[in-house]
Structure 1
Amino acid sequence: MTDEPSRRTPFPAWDEKRLRAATRAAGVSLWSWNVDTDAITMDERAYELWGIGKSTREITFETLSKNIHPADLKRVRSAFAATRAIVGAYEIDFRIMHDTALRWISARGQGSDADIAERVMFGVFLDVTQRKQAEEANELLAGEMSHRVMNLLQIATALTHITSRSAETKEEMAQDLTSRLMALGRAQTLVRPLPGRKTDAALLGDILAIVLAPYDEKGATVRVRVSVPKVNVGPASSTALALVVHELATNAAKYGALSTERGSLDVSCNVHDDDVVLIWTERGGPAGAGPSKRSGFGSKLVTQSVTAQLGGSIAFDWSHEGVVATLRMSKQHLTK
């Protein structure tokens, strides 16, 4: 039995042309550093990545440092100086300013003079901007999810206390609590609509009724009163407005008027030519429930939603009687 000749194509030699094609396809930039002269040599892609003109004759760390984000410069400088003392591979991520844009770069190489040739060390730059942006988005989402879960647990506890004050039997308490939790679920659906679900325009009064329904307490001291005119809220703004009202109600149940037996909440609205002004008035809440207890992720979320999505502003008036929040919204934004 004779061996057949191999039909495999010989692997191409890694000449300079093929190496450059491979590194460009992978988004890799090459650099070298002369440990004696401090001179840095980079390939064409690295020049583009750093935003440095090819006419720049001499490149050192100080040349590159002009483009490094000021908040990262000290850290990168220390890491750069310590590379020769590091045993094995090293990697550092940092930000650079490219014109008006911000980029993330990952610098990688071998420390302890590994693979050094003629006093020159070698490494690569990677543009990891998209990965860093994805990580930041995930961290923001995780923070928001954590905030929402903690709020739901605290609100469930608050609704249990509210229900226990008015229920006369355990059966009545179970029924009322179930009803309130289901209403809270409907409010959550409004605040977080399902992906791809089309939402029609809603009435302001309906949004307030759905979101505030879990906190209404029949036959008890706590009252939730809503008095608003007929105002249309567009599909793009309904979620943002529901989110703001939900956050205000959450804080009221945790720290404000809805956390006590004698507290009350009044929500009214005035419509002007270009603005819709919603007035949120709490009375009878616990003493000392001021801005320090209500600040945090939720308050930032409210402010961002009002300014960015509703084209307005929100202001708080803290007094011994309770908080009054004045929410001004652009009528044009509100109907979108």
Structure 2
Amino acid sequence: MEKLIETGVTRGAARMNMHKSSRAAPFPSRPLPDHEARLSDPARLSALADAQVMDTPPDEMFDRAARLATKFLGVPVGLASFVAEDRQYFKAQCGLPGGADADRETPLSHSFCQYVVAHDRPLAVSDSREHPLLSTNDAIADLGVIAYLGVPIHAPNGAPIGSFCAINDTPRVWTDSDVDVLTDLAAMIETELHLRHERDAMQTLAREMNHRVKNLFSVVGGMIALTARSTDSTADMARDLKGRLAALDLAHSMVSPALADGRFDPQGLDLHDLIDRLVQPHQMPGRAQVALDVPTLRLSGGAVTDLALVIHELATNAAKYGALSDPEGKVSIIGAQDGDTLRLNWSEAGGPTIAAAPSDKGFGSKLIEATVTRQMNGSLDTQWGEGGVSHALTLPLSVFDAEGPAASSTPG
């Protein structure tokens, strides 16, 4: 005989035993102590934003899942609700009454789904009017939510961002079969979110590779022109250019280890060596244009590649538009370890005069900001002065496998 899930708050011990044996938990009698903190957790909200479901038009894939939920479970309402810190948005809905189908969102005063997200597990209630936590929820009067069953919807990174739920306007005892149906439909939604995430990642990769190839042609063109002006013979030019291209190849392999055919291992790099190798190809022949003063710190882990990408982009921009595009230009890179934080200050001077900050960010600037803030959980502060641009990077050492205290600095 199929197991029943009695989820109203009752006086009987027998019903409490049923709660323990079911795959959906009854709604708690009170919110978790950190309920609001869970909903407003920055990592969860970032995953919700990345899913690109809030305030977006109806989508047939999501709507189909909501319709199937109402058909399979025989309920009037099915929802795919995504929960922010102060509201819930119905990416898909079938059967919502009272104009909510047009609004497609409510404040959390009308939300049962927030508890599914906070607990990150299926929750059910048979009659919300008798429940101590839910009985005062405005969804009962305004939306007719009497019986409710919801299962979490997870972002591609696993964070709970919403609830896929079935709603009845009369009391109902939910079964384990009901839970299975909703779980399968929620899994379809999660698969769709994952596929869209992978599609967006591939598009970003294509744009990044296109950006790098264009940069590479620009930098090589500049190298040829500069080398030609600074050498006296074709043999000298060939020798110097070959060395600079080899250094540029090394820098490229550091920011693209997956494409380097195993020639370069980004694990266990000294911070000074990492930065020096990346900026070296962009200095003009015979000129020491970069002053480097950073802590003695050995870094490893995947975030080393992220840092290499940032330094590479900063150096490329300086060579194309900034201080390293002028023979008299200088770049100062000063770093310090502050507890569990690495601070790097990149300052340019002596390059072309800057009239004002750019009105629009190019792809390279967006790539730097996204890598620092989202990939490395750090911060970036950029200041545009007439004499040159400066960048202040603050990075948590926790994203690296850092070895050795920053007791001394290695001057460049």
Alignment TM class, shorter chain as reference: 0.5 to 0.7
Matched, 1:241 2:310: no
What is the CA deviation profile of residues 24-64 of structure 1, one whole-angstrom value per residue up to 9, with x for unaligned ones? xxxxxxxxxxxxxxxxxxx996624689974228969x997
Q: Equivalents in 1 of 2:366, 2:316: separation in Å?
A: 14
Partner secondary structure for residue 295 of structure 2: coil
Matched, 1:329 2:395: yes
Matched, 1:282 2:282: no
Q: Equivalents in 1 of 2:231, 2:302: separation in Å?
A: 39
What is the CA deviation profile of residues 246-277 of structure 1, one whole-angstrom value per residue up to 9, with x for unaligned ones? 00001101110011121111212122222221
Equivalent residue number for residue 67 of structure 2 = 47
Q: Equivalents in 2 of 1:269, 1:51: separation in Å?
A: 61
Matched, 1:140 2:160: no
Q: Which amino acid is the alignment partner of residue 370 of structure 2? A: Q
Change (3 A) 1:64 1:55: same
Task: Quote the RMSD (CA, aligned, Å).
Answer: 3.6
What is the CA deviation profile of residues 223-253 of structure 1, one whole-angstrom value per residue up to 9, with x for unaligned ones? 1222222112122221011100000001101
Matched, 1:318 2:384: yes
Identity %: 32
Partner secondary structure for residue 158 of structure 1: helix
> 1:133 Cα deviation (Å)?
4.0
Could you tell me whether the CA contact under 8 Å between 2:354 and 2:384 is conserved in 1?
Answer: no
Q: Which amino acid is the alignment partner of residue 170 of structure 1? A: T
Q: Which moved more, 1:231-240 or 1:308-317?
A: 308-317
The one of 161, 169, 188 equivalent to 2:233 is: 169
Equivalent residue number for residue 27 of structure 2 = none
Change (3 A) 1:131 1:215: closer
TM-score (norm: length of structure 1): 0.61
Q: Equivalents in 1 of 2:372, 2:64: separation in Å?
A: 46
What is the CA deviation profile of residues 80-99 of structure 1, one whole-angstrom value per residue up to 9, with x for unaligned ones? xxxxxxxxxxxxxxxxxx89
TM-score (norm: length of structure 2): 0.51
Q: Equivalents in 1 of 2:239, 2:318: separation in Å?
A: 23
**Structure of greater Rg:** 1
Could you tell me whether the CA contact under 8 Å between 1:47 and 1:53 is conserved in 2?
Answer: no
Q: Which amino acid is the alignment partner of residue 214 of structure 1? A: P
Partner secondary structure for residue 302 of structure 2: helix
Q: Equivalents in 2 of 1:217, 1:44: separation in Å?
A: 61
Q: How many residues are matched?
A: 242
The one of 331, 355, 360 equivalent to 1:265 is: 331
Equivalent residue number for residue 302 of structure 1 = 368
Could you tell me whether the CA contact under 8 Å between 2:267 and 2:304 is conserved in 1?
Answer: no
> 1:102 Cα deviation (Å)?
11
Structure 2: runs of 5 or more not aligned: 1-62, 78-93, 106-152, 154-159, 165-187, 403-412
Q: Which amino acid is the alignment partner of residue 236 of structure 1? A: G
Change (3 A) 1:50 1:306: farther
